[in-house]
Structure 1
Amino acid sequence: MNERSAERLERLREALKREGSISLAAAARLCRVSEMTVRRDIAASHGAIASFGGHLVMADNPQFAVAYHLDTQRDRFAGAKQRLGNAALEMIEEGDTLFIDCGTTLMPLCAQIPREMNVTVVTYALNVANLFAQRDMPNMRLVVLGGLYYASSQSFGGQDVTSAIRRLGINKAFLSAAGVHADKGASCFHFHEVAPKQAAIEHAERRILVADESKLDVMRAAFFAELSDFDAILTSGEPGRDWLGRGVSVAPDRIEIV
């Protein structure tokens, strides 16, 4: 590592101590170099600085530590997720192209789409792709978006994923979230999920947020959308009714409690 690179890394460390995270573009402006040079500096930091979905963080910052593992989430609120899958299924029509997000919330929906239904499924989630690959659905087309693989969420990230989403005609995007806050919007644990979620929200004809009751009034590190960005929000149980009753700043006819 040369002297200039060391100086830039120290400048980034000071910024990250103050801010917690900064975007790659902001880091490049701060250091007055290209984003590629920042990436090279990070690679030379021996793991001290990490890059997640276009944001830089200190690798030892507990706020951004991986706190979500697919296996531990699979059986949480299983009944609620099943009801949410039933409600989401009613929104799907023959010929739809569907974007299905990562995580476990949308897995019941994937399992319930009728065998003979003519749909195209677009996903960057390995667990979603594996489920459809194992089903005998003769009229289904599966589009799996690849990139750098993240084992904790069994999903792929990177520019190739978001570029592919922008090229596709998506009728309905089913999005999951780790946090759904009335004021702070929808968020997730992992920064690499932000770009594909936002690309799907931007380009889909209809955007549906699906979140069980455990996600309500929760805020995670990686914000990806305001609640007003969704055409419909599906959530569950008495906590969902209480949440809606507190005057959530979304029209009540756009929220369904199952």
Structure 2
Amino acid sequence: MDERHQKILEILDEEKSVDIHYLKQVLAVSEPTIRNDLRFLESENKLQRIHGGAIQLPKTKEVSYSQRAVVRQSEKERIGRAAREFIQKGETVFLDAGSTIMALAEQLPSGFEFNAVTAALHIALEAGKHPNVSVHLVGGMLRSSLQELIGPKAIQGIREVHAHKVFLSISGVDLAKGITENHVFSAEVKKAMVESADQVILLADSSKMGKVYFADVLPLTEVDVIITDSGISPEFHQSLLDMGVEVIIA
């Protein structure tokens, strides 16, 4: 999506519905351009077109971190254990928000020193329990449901860091749509981490496979490794391999 598409979605997020004439004035483009934008965004499952404009798609109620933490707990613990093997001495790594990343934070390696950078309060506190880990928390506006810092300050802080690896949590993994997230501001934080890291390691239990959510994060071709559980279907597993993604079953 380009900047104009993102602006349309931001307006929809505030107003819940928009008409074409209003968008023409705000974005200073022609009516055919707006119609093409709305048509594209509808094809991407971002909105619903109506006569003369568009409306926001219904949103599902966001699940809190405490609720997510107890779902598929054993799978997440195994995924976290497998993920820690990728961390090497002296590296700088990004740790995303979410319960699967928490499973990694609880099991970080202890035999050497390294840096962990995160935008999540609970991840920073857990990683800080390991005396060999130097924890860096970026600033920003608090998204309380995931205890995550978001917004321009968070993104700026992330962009000032070069990381060897990013350990990413996500809402959905789809072969066609790629990696998607249910919250646009969290998606922006994830994108910034991906752009500032050499290697992208996705931690996603098998329930995330085949799911598509509101905000794009990155295509599967930009993911280096996916760590998941044995619930992934053989067909989905093989499709990921065919796309050049390394898949580890924890």
Deviations 1:42-76 (A, max 9, x none): xxxxxxxxxxxxx99xxx95633542211111011
Percent identical pairs in the alignment equals: 27
Q: Among 130, 144, 151, which residue is 2:144 paired with?
A: 151
Aligned-residue offset at 1:125 = 0.7
* Equivalent pair of 2:87/2:109 in contact (CA under 8 Å): no
Q: Which runs of 5+ in 1 are unaligned?
A: 1-11, 20-26, 34-54
Letter in 1 for 2:151: G
Alignment length, in residue pairs? 214
The whole-number CA distance in structure 1 between the counterparts of 2:177 and 2:57 is 21
Deviations 1:106-150 (A, max 9, x none): 1121111133530111000111012123x1x33321110111111
Cross-structure match for 1:5: none
Output the aligned Cα RMSD: 2.9
Distance 1:30 1:225, change over 3 A: farther
SS in 2 for 1:93: coil
* Equivalent pair of 1:237/1:257 in contact (CA under 8 Å): yes
Cross-structure match for 1:227: 220
Deviates more, 1:190-199 or 1:108-117: 108-117
* Equivalent pair of 1:66/1:190 in contact (CA under 8 Å): no
* Equivalent pair of 1:241/1:257 in contact (CA under 8 Å): no
Counting only pairs closer than 5 Å after superposition, residues 125-144 of structure 1 correspond to structure 2 as 125-133=120-128, 135=129, 137-144=130-137
SS in 1 for 2:231: helix
| 1:82 and 2:77 aligned | yes
Letter in 1 for 2:232: P
* Equivalent pair of 1:116/1:138 in contact (CA under 8 Å): no
The whole-number CA distance in structure 2 between the counterparts of 1:61 and 1:240 is 33
Letter in 2 for 1:146: G
The whole-number CA distance in structure 2 between the counterparts of 1:119 and 1:30 is 51
Q: Among 91, 94, 105, which residue is 2:100 paired with?
A: 105
Aligned-residue offset at 1:235 = 1.3
Cross-structure match for 1:7: none
Aligned-residue offset at 1:82 = 1.1
SS in 2 for 1:209: strand
Distance 1:113 1:246, change over 3 A: closer
Counting only pairs closer than 5 Å after superposition, residues 159-174 of structure 1 correspond to structure 2 as 159-174=152-167
| 1:202 and 2:195 aligned | yes
Cross-structure match for 1:49: none
Distance 1:68 1:93, change over 3 A: same
Deviations 1:8-38 (A, max 9, x none): xxxx56x96379xxxxxxx9875158xxxxx
Tell me the TM-score normalized by structure 1: 0.74
Deviations 1:145-191 (A, max 9, x none): 11111111110111111111111120110001111111111111111
Q: Which runs of 5+ in 2 are unaligned?
A: 1-10, 29-45, 48-54
SS in 2 for 1:165: helix
Q: Among 159, 165, 172, which residue is 1:179 paired with?
A: 172
Distance 1:94 1:240, change over 3 A: farther
* Equivalent pair of 2:227/2:247 in contact (CA under 8 Å): yes
Counting only pairs closer than 5 Å after superposition, residues 54-65 of structure 1 correspond to structure 2 as 61=56, 63-65=58-60
Distance 1:177 1:95, change over 3 A: same
Distance 1:256 1:69, change over 3 A: same
